[in-house]
A and B are shown apart, each in its own frame.
Chain A
Amino acid sequence: MSRAALLVLADGRFPAGGHAHSGGAEAAVAAGRVTDAASLADFCRGRLHTTGLTAAALAAAAALGVDPLELDAAADARTPSAALRTAARKLGRQLMRAARATWPSAELDALAAARPRGAHQPVVLGLTARAAALGPTDAAYCAAYETLSGPATATVRLLSLDPFDATAVLARLAPDVDRIADQATDAARRVLDHGPDALPAASAPLLEISAEAHGGWPVRLFAS
């Protein structure tokens, strides 16, 4: 395993389309729920412990070699919002393109062929980690961290938030990311014995509700 491969995959500049998505932050900012660094931190913590945990476990399970199509179906069941399913598949397809160019693998090719319109992004992320010879915990870290970095970057643009404050939010949440990555990896190992039902299904009602509202906005900066 190359630790540097983890840096490549987790780099915010990895060209996989994430820059156009706010992870729900645009809707939360518009609703007045995120207004400053403190509310951004609270938003990020909530997202990390809900959809972040679910995404990290899906990624870890894919990295462990669990059938990605089974995981894709499990991701569908854990993403009730149609708008968020669309966003997850769009991002999965974009990540797939970058992944196949950077770490070519037969498993990535097979998933791309089976889901030409895109598999859920965390599943593709886990399979990408596997192609890069990374482990399940690495995949979980990437997914968990992305849960935070997307909203933090978007909030800098949306609120003109001080970028140092936004980065400090990410740093303070590092211990939470560690815990989520561990929990997600444990859950992913249980999937090997018990199937995808062993995956966490933590959800966030406000993220789901506001994703549907955001999907209908005529003018917005971010795709989700």
Chain B
Amino acid sequence: MTAPADLAPVGLATAGVRDIAGVQATARIVAEVDPRRGSTVLPVLAGEGPLAVRRTRGAGAEAQVTLVGAMSGPLGGDHLTVEAEARAGARLRIGSAAATIALPGQAGEPAHYAVRLTVEDGAELHWLPEQLISVHGSDLRVTTHAELAPHARLLLREEQVLGRSDEPPGRLTTRLTLRHAGRVLLDQELACGPGAPGGWDGPAVLGGHRAVGQLVAVRPEFADDPPKPRTLGEYAALTPLAGPAVLVTAVAPDALRLRRTLDEAVRLLR
């Protein structure tokens, strides 16, 4: 992985020793509006252990942060957490420098990866990390929880790839929960790979596809004028949720074709 030239390390890695029990590490990002200049600043930007965070060059008044994997992982036994908060009026975009790769641990216990996003009124958060790749033999539990104020905006993308090329997948469980104005707007769980409940690769669930992804857009204006449901080819659909948000769900044979579909969805939602 080559770091872009404008990567500047911010924050301190305080953990990082990986023993057999795995690593516990949390990255924290807080974005708020600088009242003097009107642009978004980052009063908290702290990585830890395998989770390093860099401020990268953003467009206009937004702040852009890139998650940089400082170690491989998550490995079995790891507990990684990313917490990001966009305070009132802030504009924050978070991406990652490379795919996250779930690897087996030494003792066979699962790894946990938690993402907690908070978006206050008038703020906008784009959470657009690279793919999560579930390597053969790994066992990862991912939870993504977004807490949104009534006038918050969110664009969130999650992509899971089951196995590297020509490799059977590991075990992967993901749960995506969105709370908007205090009520749950979306709660979705997907389990796949060896040991997952029956039928996960069958004609109702993944049907042999090796990449699955979601794109969520939450915008206050959708409350009055939600986009109409539509398909994007045979294996993706856009649907309004029961609130000011839409969800795009897509399956694809591989990561590249999945990304193409989700990129098309982003364009549609502009």
Please give the residue numbers on chain A whose beta carbons come within 8 Å of chain B beta carbons, in ascending order. Answer: 24, 28, 31, 33-34, 39, 42-50, 53, 73-74, 76-78, 80-83, 85, 176, 196-197, 199-213, 215-216
Interface pair B234/A213, CB less than 8 Å apart: yes
A50 and B239 contact, Cβ closer than 8 Å, known pairs A74-B184, A78-B188: no
**For B251, what are the chain A residues with a Cβ–Cβ distance below 8 Å?**
205-206, 209
A42 and B186 contact, Cβ closer than 8 Å, known pairs A77-B242, A80-B247, A82-B239: no
Closest to B191 in A: A202
Any A CB within 8 A of the CB of B98: no
Please give the residue numbers on chain B whose beta carbons come within 8 Å of chain A beta carbons, in ascending order. Answer: 175, 177-178, 183-191, 197-200, 202-207, 212, 229-231, 234-242, 247, 249-251
Chain B: minimal CB distance from A38 (Å): 10
Tell me what chain B mostly uses at the interface: helix, strand, loop, or mixed.
strand
Interface pair A45/B207, CB less than 8 Å apart: no
Interface pair A43/B202, CB less than 8 Å apart: yes
Interface pair A203/B199, CB less than 8 Å apart: no
A82 to B238, CA, bound (A): 9
A208 and B249 contact, Cβ closer than 8 Å, known pairs A33-B207, A49-B198, A201-B187: yes
Interface pair A42/B247, CB less than 8 Å apart: no
Interface pair B237/A212, CB less than 8 Å apart: yes
**For A74, what are the chain B residues with a Cβ–Cβ distance below 8 Å?**
184, 187
Interface pair A46/B186, CB less than 8 Å apart: no
26 inter-chain pairs at a CB distance below 8 angstroms, sorted by A residue, are: A24-B204, A33-B203, A39-B202, A43-B203, A45-B199, A46-B198, A47-B199, A49-B197, A50-B197, A53-B197, A77-B186, A80-B239, A80-B247, A81-B229, A81-B237, A197-B177, A197-B184, A199-B187, A202-B189, A202-B197, A203-B189, A206-B203, A206-B207, A209-B250, A209-B251, A213-B231
A45 to B203, CA, bound (A): 10
Chain A: minimal CB distance from B190 (Å): 6
Tell me what chain A mostly uses at the interface: helix, strand, loop, or mixed.
helix
Interface pair A204/B250, CB less than 8 Å apart: no
A76 to B205, CA, bound (A): 19
Interface pair B189/A46, CB less than 8 Å apart: no
Of A43, A49, A207, A213, the residue contacting B200 (CB under 8 A) is: A49
A212 and B239 contact, Cβ closer than 8 Å, known pairs A77-B184, A78-B188: yes
Interface pair A31/B234, CB less than 8 Å apart: yes
Interface pair B188/A43, CB less than 8 Å apart: no
